[in-house]
Amino acid sequence: MFCKKCGSEMEDNAEVCASCGAPVTAAKKGFSVDMLKFEQGRSSIIALISGVVMFIMIFLPYVTVQVFGMSESQSLINGGDGFFFILIAIAGIVTGLMGKEKPMIIVGSIACVLALYEMFSFSDAIKDIAAWGLEDMVKRGIGFYLMILSAIGLLAAPFVQKYLKK
């Protein structure tokens, strides 16, 4: 059984929810759409902002290559991984609106893992370019830094929200 008020799992014979104290009459078996309701005051502004920033950064220059005075920028939407960041950004916005800690932690963790993957991929590419002595031609763009910032924001949001509740 799941508590209708907070969404916590309860034993079938429980009289009240161990998490929030709601009576059994407020509990239903299975998943409830009420668990997804967006409660006023529960939303996490940090998760919302981080999700929006992540969505925007997908379209901004991630890397810029400059050769003989000409420069070319590449964004994540053109690089192939932008689709995954779009999904994470949407999930970050939705979980931020819901204000539920566990989903925000999951989304933030996935965002950080994906950002770390992108950072290591970028570092590997720079190492290959450095072998030719051309590493000064490749620069990180604003999208790279916003990716890191928004991933950290999504991961930190539930913890900040919990700290501010106290």
Question: What SS3 state is found at 22?
Answer: coil
φ/ψ (deg, to 5) at 58? -60, -30
Name beta bridge partners: 67: 70
Instruction: Enter the pTM of the model.
Output: 0.65
pLDDT one digit per residue (tens) for the chain, 166 residues? 677 777 777 777 788 888 888 887 644 444 444 444 544 445 678 888 999 999 999 898 877 777 777 877 778 888 668 889 899 999 988 888 887 888 888 999 999 999 898 888 877 777 666 666 666 777 888 888 999 999 999 999 888 877 776 5
Of residues 74, 77, 37, 38, the one with CA closest to residue 54: 77
